[in-house]
Amino acid sequence: MFASENNNMNVENIQSQMKKGVLEFCILTIIDRGEVYPADIVEELKDKGMPVLEGTLYPLLTRLKKAGYLDYRWVESQSGPPRKYFSMNADGRKFYKVLEITWEELSGAVKRIIK
Amino acid sequence: MNILDIKYCAQDLQFEELAYKKFETYETQLKEYFLRQEDGNEIFEDLKLRICEMLQSKMKMSGAAISEVDIAEIKETIGGVEQLEDAADIDAEESFKKDENPIKNKKLFRSENEKMIGGVSAGLGNYFSIDPLAFRLLFVLLTLSSGFGLLVYAIFWAVLRPMVLPTNVSKRLYRNSADKVLAGVCGGLASFFKTEAWIVRVIFLSPIILNTTLDRFFDFGLNLFNGSAMGFSIVAYIILWITTKETESPSEELLARGEDININSIKEETHRAQISPNSNSGLNNILRVFAFIIMGLALIPIFAILVSLLFGSIFMMPMTSAVLHTPLLKWLGVLSVLFFIVLPLVALLLWGIRRIAGIKGPNKPLRLSFGGLWALGLASAITLSALLLGEMNKKSFVENKFSVPVMGDTLNVKKLDEKFFNSSAVQTTSLISNIYEESDDEHRSNLVSFKRQISPNDSFYVKTKLFAVGKGFIGAAKNAKIAGYQSQFANNELYLSKYITVPKNQPYRFQHAEVTIFVPKGKTAIVEKGLGSYSFGNKVFRVQQDNDWDGMSENEKDAVKEDIEEAMGEVSDAIEEVSNEINEVAEEIDDINIDDVEDEIERAERQAKNNIKIEKQKLRIKKEELRLEKLKERLSREE
């Protein structure tokens, strides 16, 4: 179940497992607010304490787009290569609502267990 | 460091050479990683655009070409392939197409991004995770000792596919550009073994110094630092010089010292490079002078040999065209002279000029082409010598005898005048005109020797033997036949030619002649001085007593005995050669017959066996029939 081949269960492993669980949700939260460029997503996540590698983000976004939850459009840049801006569509919003509820239940349960 | 202009996703970018290599490696790794997944192409393309943006902004911020630090920072943001693999979602992984061959990174390639010649050693080094230098040294040693190395290298080069390979060695030997006297070999070794440079220099120099100085004055009897140790030291230094590079980037500096390569260490190293130490200290300069003296002393004899070869071949010109009588040989000759002799001379001259004037060295393609042409010259020189030697491995002769009807007891032998010669315009090459001359239709040389012996009967006679070399005895005899020798008898005097001639369109194969004058007992021959270069000049040759064998001295007798032995040896060689040929032919005949006969025998055997089987079967059937009959009879009787 663990990605690492180590027999020792190290902390980093579990940390990354926990992160993996909520990453998609966090990304969708940012996109839900409005059309956004992947690099901006990375920036915000880093600022707010959940850094992610762009090499992880892009596959995620592509998967979500393929699943039909995200749309994108190309924006030409004056002094550089064109950019892909992602936005959430109706199906995506439905999916997101489900995840939101899941998160509320989960975080609530964990909070209660910790107390 | 070189700056490369690269167009990436339609943007014009500038990379430092090594930074670009790192970038290429990283990009290829990302591509491979993503192409293994579903929609990998799209993901990779998106990331490419993002990377391009980052590269642009880095260029704008620093105002300079993209450096290794920039590449490292980009890698940190996007993620290295191992990090991405770790961070990838497990469920997501299951929905991604995974490559069925996880042993992919254990395949052997040749390196495209790091290559000295063809990247073979770099590829091998990457596969075994050791410094490519080990393989470079291996190839060099194999080539120098048996020529095999070149062949093996070429095979590898042809068979392995080129691939951008990452550095996966933790420590490598480089030459130290900062601390160098000659080429930085000792400095680099010092870095590698974590000692001081002067220690390494002492190790390399001690055989040279001890051999040239101490050994002369004191007889140590140790033979510890004799010429071979000195030679080994010099050769080892040169080999290391050729097979290693100087460090050209901060990451290579780190590799040379075996330190970790990450963003911080690269930044530190770039800093350190700017305050580099001075390699111009007094001691270093003294060592440098010393080293140049040694190099000069070594190069002068090589230079001298090459020059003498060159002049030799030029002056032998007319004869050369006769020796190399087929177009193939002529071409090989030209190639050899041009590329094997002239080329290194030119290269040495240029190198000297460059060194003095301080101009930068030639670039790789030029160096490679020089080396390649020289190798071609070497190959053609070797082929030429092999072919020529093959053409001249045996000697043979053609003999002719004629009697000299002299009136009286004395024979005067004089030089045959040129007007009896069959030539029109005679061209001479002043340097070798005494030996070799050329006219319109023939060559002639004065390789004629004269001997005298006692005649077994009462008359004077002359025996001429025309020798030549050739391919085997048969070839040599053919070459001997085409030679010509002139003589005349007029006015009771014998005129012998100084020269032996070969027609121009025939191969010149060192045709020479031996003319023996047979003088009967009690008579005299007076030979004119100047007849041939081996002649005994104007000597009087009188045979008087019986035991004055033939007036020959002991030495001459021994020489004759040797000649006889040699001739016997050659005769037996010739017999051997002919009998070998006979054997070969006989074997062929035998082979055919024996095989056929054996086949026949086999066939006959098989036939016979089959027949026997058939007969046996018939017998069995008969037996069965008889039994049946008997049974029938019994049955009918019982009824």
| Amino acid of residue B504 | K
pTM here? Answer: 0.41
pLDDT at B237: 84
Smallest Cβ–Cβ distance between A53 and the set B9, B56, B78 belongs to B78
Work out the number of other CB atoms within 10 angstroms of the CB of residue A13.
15
Rounded (5°) CA angle B454-B458-B461: 60
User: Higher-confidence residue: B148 or B214?
Assistant: B148
B85 in contact with chain A, both atoms CB, cutoff 8 A? yes
Contact B433, B516 (CB under 8 A): no
Cβ–Cβ of B87/A39 closer than 8 Å?
no
**pLDDT for residue B222 is more than 60:** no
- Closest of A7, A61, A80 to residue B11, by C-alpha: A80
pLDDT digits (tens, 9 = 90+) for B175-215: 887 777 777 888 888 888 888 888 888 888 777 776 666 65
Work out the number of other CB atoms within 10 angstroms of the CB of residue B371.
13
Cα–Cα distance measured from residue B232 to residue B53, given in angstroms and rounded to the nearest whole number: 55
- Closest of B155, B148, B109 to residue B132, by C-alpha: B109
- Which chain A residues touch B53 with a CB distance below 8 Å? 39, 77, 80-81, 83
**pLDDT for residue A112 is more than 90:** yes
pLDDT digits (tens, 9 = 90+) for B60-90: 888 888 888 899 999 989 988 888 887 775 4
* Sequence-distant (≥ 6) Cβ neighbours of residue B144 within 8 angstroms: none
**pLDDT for residue B147 is more than 90:** no
Return residues 40-59 of B near A (CB < 8 Å). 42-43, 46-47, 49-50, 52-53, 56
pLDDT at B597: 78
**pLDDT for residue A85 is more than 90:** yes
User: Higher-confidence residue: A24 or B38?
Assistant: A24
**pLDDT for residue B427 is more than 60:** no
Cα–Cα distance measured from residue A70 to residue A64, given in angstroms and rounded to the nearest whole number: 6
Smallest Cβ–Cβ distance between B87 and the set A16, A82, A83 belongs to A16
Residue in the block written with tokens 């001075």: B278
B548 in contact with chain A, both atoms CB, cutoff 8 A? no
Across B230-257, average pLDDT: 78
Contact B37, A59 (CB under 8 A): yes
- Closest of B166, B348, B267, B209 to residue B201, by C-alpha: B209
Strand B524-527 and strand B540-542: pairing?
antiparallel
**pLDDT for residue B420 is more than 70:** no
Residue of B nearest to A3 (CA): B86
User: Higher-confidence residue: A29 or B92?
Assistant: A29
Cα–Cα distance measured from residue B501 to residue B494, given in angstroms and rounded to the nearest whole number: 19
**pLDDT for residue B539 is more than 60:** no
B86 in contact with chain A, both atoms CB, cutoff 8 A? yes
Show contacts of B577-580: CB within 8 Å, 24+ apart.
Answer: B577/B394, B577/B472, B577/B473, B578/B473
CA B165 to chain centre: 32
**pLDDT for residue B627 is more than 80:** yes
CA distance B199 to chain A (A): 45
Residue in the block written with tokens 């040797």: B562
Q: Give Cα separations from B135 to B101, B123, B247, B481 (angstroms).
A: 28, 10, 19, 56
Percent of chain B exceeding pLDDT 90 equals: 3
Residue in the block written with tokens 């017959």: B593
Q: What's chain B's Rg over C-alpha atoms?
A: 42
Smallest Cβ–Cβ distance between A54 and the set B9, B50, B56 belongs to B50
Cβ–Cβ of A3/B90 closer than 8 Å?
yes
Cα–Cα distance measured from residue B523 to residue B454, given in angstroms and rounded to the nearest whole number: 10
Main-chain phi, psi angles of B289, to 5 degrees: -60, -45
Percent of chain B exceeding pLDDT 70 equals: 78
Cα–Cα distance measured from residue B485 to residue A65, given in angstroms and rounded to the nearest whole number: 101
Cα–Cα distance measured from residue B334 to residue B243, given in angstroms and rounded to the nearest whole number: 32
Residues paired with B411 in a beta bridge:
B525
Contact A85, A35 (CB under 8 A): yes
Residues paired with B466 in a beta bridge:
B398, B513
Cβ–Cβ of B86/A16 closer than 8 Å?
yes
Instruction: Give the tokens for residue A6.
Output: 């180590």
Q: What's chain A's Rg over C-alpha atoms?
A: 16
Q: Is the dihedral of CA B461, B466, B467, B473 positive or negative?
A: negative
Rounded (5°) CA angle B206-B210-B216: 170
Q: Give Cα separations from A62 to A31, A55, B42, B633 (angstroms).
A: 13, 11, 8, 99
Cα–Cα distance measured from residue B80 to residue B89, given in angstroms and rounded to the nearest whole number: 16
pLDDT digits (tens, 9 = 90+) for B549-583: 344 556 666 777 787 888 788 788 888 888 888 88
pLDDT at B213: 65
Residue in the block written with tokens 């002769």: B397
Q: Give Cα separations from B523 to B453, B483, B535 (angstroms).
A: 12, 31, 20
Across B412-435, average pLDDT: 54
Across B306-331, average pLDDT: 69
Residue of A nearest to B10 (CA): A81
Q: At B304, is the pLDDT very low, low, confident or very high (cuts 50, 70, 90)?
A: confident
Work out the number of other CB atoms within 10 angstroms of the CB of residue B582.
10
Which of B33, B46, B83, B91 best probes binding to A when mutated, by most A CB atoms within 10 angstroms? B46
pLDDT at B431: 41
Contact B138, B149 (CB under 8 A): yes
Phi-psi group of A11: left, alpha or beta (phi > 0 → left; psi -120 to 50 → alpha; rest → beta): alpha
Cβ–Cβ of A80/B30 closer than 8 Å?
no
pLDDT at B205: 79
**pLDDT for residue B369 is more than 50:** yes
Residue in the block written with tokens 């004037």: B357
Cα–Cα distance measured from residue B74 to residue A54, given in angstroms and rounded to the nearest whole number: 10
Strand B512-519 and strand B448-454: pairing?
parallel
Cα–Cα distance measured from residue B487 to residue B343, given in angstroms and rounded to the nearest whole number: 48
pLDDT at B438: 62
Residues paired with B394 in a beta bridge:
B470
**pLDDT for residue B486 is more than 60:** yes
Instruction: Give the tokens for residue B465.
Output: 């033997």
